[in-house]
Amino acid sequence: MSQSSKKVSEFKAYNVHLKDTIEVFSKRLFYALFDDDEQQQKELLFVAQTFLKLTSKIGIDNGEDLWAKFKNQLPTIRTKLDLDALAFEQNDPAAKSLEEIYLAYPGFHAISIYRLSHELYKLNLPIIPRMMSEYTHGLTGTDIHPGATIGASFFIDHATGIVIGETAVIKDHVKIYQGVTLGGIQIKKSMSNIKRHPTIENNVTIYANATILGGDISVGANSIVGANVWITKSIPENSLVTYELDNKISTRKS
């Protein structure tokens, strides 16, 4: 056996087929949140069984206990998502009804899977929350890490290209448009246990393609961040942040 063949034969096997299982699990869990009572019970039975298969495959031996804790949070998650849907209806002039938002808005779908995966993340369940977020990322173009903390009545318009990092904190009534990045200013493995992503305070609007970087960065309450702005310093509350013609950032009271 050649040296290269020996190396190939020593590769560890990974359960990559679980990506298909996660897709079905996430989809059916999303359905269960909004179905009528009879259909919801059928969906929950299916996703419970699928959850136990997933946890067993990744070596988790307390899957039933984790599922029970997670299931207890589903009514709270539904309440949060109803508030998110209302935020979409109130902020998007193209929204004709709440039904349209639940059925046809990729941003709402991305937030839904985020809120579900976030509860699993809080239970310290490995891998599965991250796989759920990546499944939705592929569908919607929106990358929300399940570790991010997002408050009530969250609205993301168009969805595509949005990136929200693991330690980002987004408070209540925040609006984000396509292409926005809430990221880290440095990429170092040694920073894995510290806050790397910004804090967005209440009632902030962030327009398309704005980039906000750094764990000690905050955007103050009631501020507006204009399109294409690159921010690495904190913004005081009630600010309007835009690019001037000379490509300098202008911050002023809104």
CATH code reported for the domain at 15-143: 1.10.3130.10
Please give the average pLDDT of every successive group of 10 residues along the chain, which has 254 residues: 54 88 97 90 95 96 97 97 98 96 97 98 97 97 98 96 98 98 84 89 98 97 96 96 70 68
Q: Which residues face 211 on adjacent strands?
A: 181, 230
CA distance 235 to 252: 10
Under a CB-based contact definition with an 8 Å cutoff, are residues 88 and 108 in contact? Answer: yes
Residue 242 is inside which H or E element, if any?
A: strand 239-243
pLDDT the model gives residue 1: 47
Inter-CA distances, 55 with 21, 51, 147, Å: 11, 6, 19
The per-residue pLDDT for 49 is 97
- Give domain limits for the chain: 15-143, 148-254
CATH number of 148-254: 2.160.10.10
pLDDT of residue 15: 87
